[in-house]
Structure 1
Amino acid sequence: MSYFRPLVQSGEIRPDTAVTLAGMPHLWFTHVEIMQRNAGSEIVTVEAVPGDVLARLSAPREPIAGLDMGQAQIMGILNVTPDSFSDGGRHNELTDATAAALQMAQDGASIIDIGGESTRPGADFIEIPDEIERTVPVIGAIRAKSTVQISIDTRKAAVGQAALNVGANLINDVAGFTFDPELGSVAARAGVPVCVMHAQGDPKTMQNDPQYDHVVLDVYDFLQERIAYLESLGVARTQIVTDPGIGFGKTLEHNLSILRNISLFHALGCPILLGASRKRFIGTIGKAPLADDRAPGSIAVGLAALAQGVQILRVHDVGETAQAVRLWQAAR
């Protein structure tokens, strides 16, 4: 099997043969890297790319939860948990969580991702009633005061349904809709978009020596299979966001390999979300042991991903990221 990674470029001056990437007028490509598992890669011009592949690479992405996928969107992270790796315990109170969400919306987040179960390495399972109790009141309070889009970060159908009932607009499953077989059906019945993420193992064990044959292609194959599964349930491909799952069952080198090749995932025909904010590899490379000190490194990784056409950045530091994106766009 061959995999096609567009070699993304930008700028107003472009060759006549250039193909626009995913409907984003500022990004284009004239060449593609053909990747294979048991052979070296090959660089070819766009004329050598199969028509169906080229169509998926170039087709504009439809809006997700009303958000334009032709430009960068920021998803703000709101963990209403006592033990998340970066902000655990900060938003346990309803008033604090609501205020934090409204501030993120003001600072530039177009969607707020709310999670009630920590997915940090080594985290324990949270029972459904506890997860609902943590998330649903916060979603309802935010919705009563704001029209900002809201994502529920959960692996469980009952939690997803309860969140949708009070105003959530998107289901974000770090287990790629493999943990609870009913969660995909909940999304399909409600007609809401989903984000399908790759993870190797569950949070309790995922960092215990993760192994891959070819991390980028293994992740691609997983996401492709999950997209087909969700389509079989009635979720439209145009309403599926993909997330390669930085830090979820991956070493530092695995993470870097995915980041270097992230434009490959455009061949799935779906928007791409990057969730690298404050992750351990940023602290290791950036020499920032404390998660709160990793905003600069997180922003650097995010801007590199935007240059490869990633549409959504999931971040803790919304205001700083929004400022960086505005300046990056202006300079380009």
Structure 2
Amino acid sequence: MNTPHRTLPGLPDWGRCGVMGIVNVTPDSFSDGGLWLDPEKAVAHGIALAAQGADIVDVGGESTRPGATRVTEDEELRRVLPVVRGLAQAGVVVSVDTMRAVVAEAAVAAGAKVINDVSGGRADSGMVKVAAETGVPFVVMHWRGQSTEMDALARYDEVVTEVVGEVEAQLEAVVAGGVDPGQVIVDPGLGFAKTREDDWALLARLDAWARLGRPLLVAASRKRFLGTLLADARTGELRPARARDAATAAISALAAAGGAWAVRVHEVTASADAVRVEAALRAAR
């Protein structure tokens, strides 16, 4: 079993796999676009997720679903900052989900404790500097390109070896740019430039990340590979995104058993229960 690193600057040690709840302040996210566009509703939803067991609430103002187009920097700031500020003032541990250095810097100033960059610092040349200067935990995800082109980039000979190797190279790059290695969280990037088969292969080999020596974030919630797995046997129609939460919770339990530092999910209660069950079983061994 992969042993998770739990000590990160500014974050508690939960003694188990953590749960990162998702608040998408977007009109076009794949499963909850438009639900939390209003800042007051978004803050209330984030507080509810924390009450349900989320250890961190991840706030994003730009969809990264396959095919999504980018929003302007000003629009992303307008969406994100009031929500980050409101949640931080309510005592919620907040992460900001952004590829822009300006947004990350402003969000940390507003109270965010984690920068979750799906590009791992590749999309914006200023992001590594912001991560280094703020000193907050920084998620480096496997990423090969923007949402409009990611599906065409899902080409691998040995997906586990290549994905881990590419994240290792980016980890070295951000450290060379001034980021303390102790800040870095790694993420396999499920669904980002991955086929359904690639996603399952990566989940089956979470142990392969142990050699990087960094906490592992697993973000499988409601993603396409689960919709395909759960497709209607008669029609082949994919299971709708919001009906994939039970499968997501199963992944959360398995990821926790595989040593994940945290799981990122839309529906918190079932995954919060799942990681606590895994921790109890581990403690009883």
TM over 0.5: yes
Partner of 2:27: 82
Higher CA-based Rg: 1
1:225 counterpart = 2:169? yes
Which has the bigger relative contact order, CA under 8 A and spacing at least 6? 2
The one-letter code of the counterpart of 1:247 is: G
Partner of 2:45: 100
Larger fraction in strand: 1
Partner of 2:134: 190
Partner of 1:242: 186
Post-superposition Cα deviations, 1:308-332, rounded to whole Å, max 9, x if no partner, equal 1111000001112112222333345
Using the TM superposition, give the Cα deviation of residue 69 of structure 1 relative to its aligned residue in structure 2, in angstroms: 6.4
Equivalent-residue separation in structure 2 for 1:69 and 1:322 (angstroms): 12
Alignment check: 8 A CA contact 1:75 1:312 kept:
yes
Equivalent-residue separation in structure 2 for 1:212 and 1:124 (angstroms): 25
TM-score by length of 1: 0.80
The one-letter code of the counterpart of 2:275 is: V
Gaps of 5+ in 2: 232-237
1:308 counterpart = 2:252? no
Using the TM superposition, give the Cα deviation of residue 234 of structure 1 relative to its aligned residue in structure 2, in angstroms: 2.0
Equivalent-residue separation in structure 2 for 1:104 and 1:83 (angstroms): 21
TM-score by length of 2: 0.93
Gaps of 5+ in 1: 1-7, 9-20, 25-59
Partner of 1:38: none
- Superposed, which structure 2 residues align to 1:1-332 within 5 Å? 8=1, 21-22=2-3, 60-68=5-13, 70-146=15-91, 148-208=92-152, 210-287=154-231, 289-332=239-282
Equivalent-residue separation in structure 1 for 2:72 and 2:100 (angstroms): 10
Post-superposition Cα deviations, 1:159-212, rounded to whole Å, max 9, x if no partner, equal 111111111111111111111010110111111110000123211121236211
Larger fraction in helix: 2
C-alpha RMSD over aligned residues: 1.5
Using the TM superposition, give the Cα deviation of residue 289 of structure 1 relative to its aligned residue in structure 2, in angstroms: 1.9
The one-letter code of the counterpart of 1:233 is: G
Alignment check: 8 A CA contact 1:65 1:149 kept:
no
Alignment check: 8 A CA contact 1:61 1:270 kept:
no
Equivalent-residue separation in structure 2 for 1:65 and 1:71 (angstroms): 17
Alignment check: 8 A CA contact 1:62 1:69 kept:
no
Aligned length in residues: 276
